[in-house]
Amino acid sequence: MNSEKRDFSVIGTSVRRVDGADKVTGKARYAGDLIIPGMIEGKFLRSPYAHARILSIDTREVEALPGVIAVITSKDFSDVSPYMGRGKNRDHPIIAVDRVIFAGQPVAAVAAVDRATAEEALARIAVEYQELPALIDVEDALATGAPRIHEFAEKNICFQTELVKGDVESGFAEADEIFEDTFEFPMIYHYSMEPHTAIAEVDSDGINIWTSTGHPFGVRQEIAEIYHYPLSKIRVHVNFVGGAYGSKSGGKIEPLVVALARKAQRPVRVALNVAEAMVTCRRHAVQCKLKTGVKKDGTLIAKQAEIYLNTGAYAETGPIVTGRTLTRILGPYRYPNLKINSYCVYTNTVSAASFRSIGGPQTAWATESQMDIIAQKLGLDPVELRLKNLVKKGEEIRPKLKPLDADLAKGLKLVTDKLGWDGALSKTGRGRGVGFGTTDPGAPLASTSTVHVLADGSVVLLCGTVELGQGAKTVMSQIVAEELSVPLERVTIRPIDTAFTPFDRSTGSSRSTTVMGKAVELAGSDARRQILELAQEHFESPEEAITLKDGQAIAGGKKVSYGELIHKHFAMQGGELVGRGYAHSGMAPTPANPLFWEIGIGAVELDVDQETGEVHVHKYVTAADAGKALHPLHCEGQDEGSAMMGIGHTFYEAYQFDSGQIINAGMVDYKVPGFDDVPDQFDSILIEDGNGPGPYGAKGLGEGGIIPVAPAIANAIAWCSGARIKTLPLTPEKVWRAIKDAGQVASSGLRSRT
């Protein structure tokens, strides 16, 4: 049913969050709040070297220390599969074996009666290392003669892929201008408010894990494969998670925590701090080399790109991210000729994982920045240049992928009108910039949900989508309330326990509202059908004569509650109705990749202090194609929060290394945006065309807002100061130096012309 023509009761309304009161009062229980009877504390000993051979580990003194229950080294994994990883990329040892290949890699672990004893124990483990050369940057890893980080990876390349369309060399021959630029995007930390935390218990019944993960079923699968348990013997419990953004996708610390619990024969909790979480995973650093050919009127003719991703010590999600860059480097633009090569490169750094819009911010940083370089050289307005080359709705962005399902020109106009765009320079001399994010979210189709209508007419929802702070519990409850025509407060969503919760592929890839939301909608619809069947029997009326409202069936001026119908059906013995919903490949169109296109559009107005390089953002406008905003306030919050994360990596965030070690690991030295960084005027626009594949026409939107921020800001800086910067972050010093360099170039050019 088209969402624009339907009368909704709770869908499209910014209802109160169902978890809001518990969170603001501190009643919400996260993994770190749980107390399991008999629980002890675990800690990991981490390598101080980025690359070293482990000559010996002496744990004898620690094992005799009062209060130490268990000590783990690689020798404790002889009876299991000691490697973890995604799919075929199982290259990551749970604990270092013969070598450490990044600073911070666990080499031993202890479990003790309390955290202080565990920390003392770590200090008494004697490890002898032989330091080896470390390769921190992609250039070093790819250099001729560079040592191999893994023997199986020739030239330290983890994975590579290519996209070809047309004939790029012929395209360059037709072009009037050719632009060649290199852009660099640094390593970024996810910075969830809750660092990774897990509790594990191993007993005769199997393995229990309480963890802060977005992939409870993925963790279950990984633990089963490592420890040779059937899935039925592993229970993963998740209730609330304090942010993830991709950092808690799949197993991270859980396999090693299980190892501690297995040896200790006690429940063990490991709660990381920020510095430890920073050496658990991060975003891919990327270098993009772009070559783009255009006509004098701005028509894009050809694009060639070489993309190098620093994936760190192990593959993790690197191959997946590398594959996505082939699409995301294109932006939303029409290119007759393409040749894109993307390389995933091993280095001696912490492994890179999924992070909000994998590969999107890094590649848009390059493409959207170069679009303004082209506009400036050709004397064109950057908005007009984009409008000229935008892919239209129903047109193909990438060969064999689903055609575009959004009106990009409409979205760009909404954003620029809101900003008040009348050129890249305002009348007061402020710079303006725009940027696009156009991505192909994975949104894998494998979600199941059940809706239980109980004997009193109240409703219980079981679904595997994790509440990460994004509002999943609320929007899923809204869908159920809508389908069953019951008040929202009559719906309860249970915490996740993989022993009882129906399967869900994952919480990520902008899939929850779209894919799990569809499963919940179908489950609610199935339960509604059953209620209507009971009501038809009760009233002896056809379905079209019956109305469902506020938990009651109404016909001919008479009412009966759902509870009464259920009691009657089960001969007054209580009972419940169970609705089932499956979101699978059958809901996908052909071609099915992507399930939908996720669009983010940003525009900014700012000024730059020429003497200090400080940038002040006066206005920022962000827009997302929501399809249908099921909870508008949540949608706006997701998009604005995503944009603020973009402001973080634009101005501040980057891992800093010295001799292979991270030297800014912690909340003091690694700055993220605060309230002072919010733009003076901050507007969000929700585009609702009701044409998404999710419930009521919804699409995912949580990732699009982060993508355009950095290039939009860099473009605005360039237009008002002449300083074009191609490496992030845009620190005041970097901006100041770029302004001075631009001034010197301009002065030199003036002297030569004179």
Which tokens hold the place of 750? 């003036």
Q: How far is CA 746 from the centre of its chain?
A: 42
Give dist(CA 649, CA 79) in Å, integer. Answer: 43
Would you state the pLDDT for residue 90? 87
Angle between helices 318-328 and 360-378 (to 10 degrees): 30
What does the block give as tokens for 629? 């905003």
Q: Per DSSP, what are the bridge partners of residue 128?
A: 56
Strand 268-271, strand 197-203: pairing: antiparallel
**Would you state the structure tokens that stand for residue 122, as one six-digit string?**
């770590």
- Position 75 scores a pLDDT of 96
Instruction: Tell me the two tokens of residue 516.
Output: 């799990």
Q: Which residue has the tokens 């009657």?
A: 568
- Alpha-carbon distance of 213 to 466, in angstroms, equals 8
Identify the CA nearest to 190 among candidates 320, 281, 252, 321.
281
Residue 3 has pLDDT above 70, yes or no: no
Confidence band for 751, pLDDT divided at 50, 70 and 90: very low
Q: Are 235 and 36 in contact (CB under 8 A)?
A: no
For strand 661-662 and strand 657-658, is the pairing parallel, antiparallel, or unpaired?
A: antiparallel
* Least confident span in 310-314, 364-368, 386-390, 744-748: 744-748
Which pLDDT score is estimated for 444? Answer: 78
For the chain, give the mean pLDDT.
95
> How many helices (H) and strands (E) would you count in the chain?
18, 31
Look at residue 677 in the predicted model and tell me its pLDDT: 96
Between the two ends of the chain, the Cα-to-Cα distance in Å is: 70
Cα distances (Å, whole numbers) of residue 603 to 62, 417, 618, 673: 57, 10, 11, 19
Global pTM exceeds 0.85: yes
Report the pLDDT value the prediction gives residue 4, as an integer from 0 to 100. 44
CA–CA dist 149, 312 (Å, integer): 10
Q: Name the pLDDT band for 752 (thresholds 50, 70, 90).
A: very low
Half-sphere exposure of 595 (CA within 13 A, CB side): 29
**Domain boundaries along the sequence of the chain:** 3-28+444-587, 34-133+190-278
Q: For CA atoms 361, 367, 370, 375, give the dihedral sign.
A: negative
What gap in Å lies between CA 530 and CA 39, rounded to an integer? Answer: 45
Contact 75, 123 (CB under 8 A): no
- Give the pLDDT confidence of 273-297 residue by residue, as tens digits: 999 999 999 999 999 999 999 999 9
Helix (H, G, I), strand (E, B) or coil at 160: strand
Task: Judge whether 305 and 168 are in contact, CB under 8 Å.
Answer: no
Architecture of domain 3-28+444-587 in this structure: 2-Layer Sandwich (3.30)
Active site residues: 703
For the segment 50-102, what is each residue's pLDDT rounded down to a tens digit? 999 999 999 999 999 999 999 999 999 999 999 998 777 789 999 999 999 99
Sequence-distant (≥ 6) Cβ neighbours of residue 579 within 8 angstroms: 450, 451, 452, 453, 522, 523, 524, 525, 526, 527, 528, 529, 530
Q: Has residue 244 got a pLDDT over 50? A: yes
Helices 709-721 and 732-753, axial angle in degrees (round to 10): 40
Give the phi and the psi of residue 545 in degrees, each rounded to 5: -90, -5
Phi and psi of 247, rounded to 5°? -70, -20
3-state secondary structure of 362: helix
Rounded CA separation 348/144 (Å): 17
Q: Are the C-beta atoms of 261 and 270 separated by less than 8 Å? A: no
Q: Quick: pLDDT tens for 397-417.
A: 999 999 999 999 999 999 999
What's the rounded mean pLDDT across residues 597-602? Answer: 96
Handedness of CA 582, 587, 593, 598 (dihedral sign): negative
Rounded Cα–Cα distance for residues 335 and 417 (Å): 27
Q: How far apart are CA 86 and CA 192, in angstroms?
A: 22
- pLDDT, greater one: 591 or 171: 171
Which fold does the domain 34-133+190-278 belong to in CATH?
Aldehyde Oxidoreductase; domain 3 (3.90.1170)
| The pLDDT value given to residue 567 | 93
pLDDT reading at 678 higher than 70: yes
| Assigned token pair, 726 | 């191609």
Is residue 592's pLDDT more than 90?
A: no
Give the model's pLDDT for residue 747. 54
